[in-house]
């Protein structure tokens, strides 16, 4: 039963994001799913809840819906159609609601599965893949690669984070470099160490080349 639910969900999500050009395509979802299963196995979590929340986390994201509420309703209706047990349906929805960064304004996950899926998504935002996704997202939304006079923002509201002008390089300081210290699980913290170092090395090389030092 659960295997069929996961397969149907995979097909549905794949169709929704097959044409994405913001760094949130199906392959992103699949990587988050794999990360979540890996972390969940190490941390002793409910793997079905972890996998389903990972598969559906961007379906509910406000970036792809009129509102967060609309996105969550879409996911809940899907879970109801798939006859997912109520206790697991509520756990999946709870995990999904705390995945997004939202400029640092989202609340902390209340469950182990929520922590794991948040970690899994954040791991895909750092390292080599995270860098590539960062520039894809900036390009898709019309932000510059870098502008020396446009400084990274500090504290900001969710609306400012979503709507104000920024750059791909600023996003490193506004989000990506913060994620290592925000990991919830020991498993994710270990994985984040290597990816975080890659971010720092990239930034150093980028700024040296930009300033004509190499």
Instruction: Please provide residue 167's backbone torsions phi and psi, each rounded to the nearest 5 degrees.
Output: -135, 165
Q: How far is 74 from 65, CA to CA, in rounded Å?
A: 9
Contact 173, 179 (CB under 8 A): no
Arithmetic mean of pLDDT, 197-202: 98
Cα angle vertex 142, ends 194, 177, to 5°?
20
CA 88 from centre of chain: 21
Give 156-175 pLDDT, tens digit per residue: 777 776 667 889 999 999 99
Residues near 172 by beta carbon (within 8 Å), at least 6 away in sequence: 134, 152, 199, 203
- Average pLDDT score, the chain: 92
Q: How many domains does the chain have?
A: 1
Domain range for 125: 2-210
Question: In the prediction, which pLDDT does 147 show?
Answer: 94
Q: If you write DSSP's letter for every residue of 127-172 in order, what string do you get?
A: HHHHHHHHHHHHHHTT-BS--TTSPPP-S--HHHHHHS--BHHHHH
- Return the CATH number at 96: 1.10.3210.50
Q: How far is 120 from 125, CA to CA, in rounded Å?
A: 9
Q: What is the pTM of this model?
A: 0.92
């Amino acid at each position: 039963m659960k295997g069929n639910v996961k397969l149907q969900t995979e097909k549905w999500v794949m169709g929704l994001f097959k044409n994405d050009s913001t760094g949130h395509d199906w392959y992103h979802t699949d990587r988050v799913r794999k990360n979540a299963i890996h972390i969940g196995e190490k941390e002793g979590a409910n793997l079905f809840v972890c996998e389903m929340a990972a598969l559906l986390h961007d379906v509910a994201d406000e970036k792809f819906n009129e509102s967060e509420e609309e996105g969550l309703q879409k996911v809940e209706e899907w879970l109801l159609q798939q006859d997912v047990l109520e206790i697991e349906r509520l756990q999946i929805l709870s995990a999904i609601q705390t995945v997004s960064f939202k400029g640092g304004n989202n609340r902390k996950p209340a469950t182990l599965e929520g922590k794991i899926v948040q970690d899994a998504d954040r791991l895909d935002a750092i390292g080599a893949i995270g860098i590539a996704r960062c520039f894809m997202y900036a390009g898709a939304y019309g932000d510059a690669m870098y502008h020396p006079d446009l400084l990274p923002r500090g504290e900001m509201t969710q609306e400012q984070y979503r709507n104000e002008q920024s750059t791909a390089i600023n996003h490193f300081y506004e989000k990506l470099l913060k994620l290592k210290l925000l990991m919830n699980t020991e498993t994710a913290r270990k994985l984040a160490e290597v990816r975080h170092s890659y971010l720092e090395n990239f930034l150093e090389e980028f700024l040296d080349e930009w300033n004509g030092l190499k």
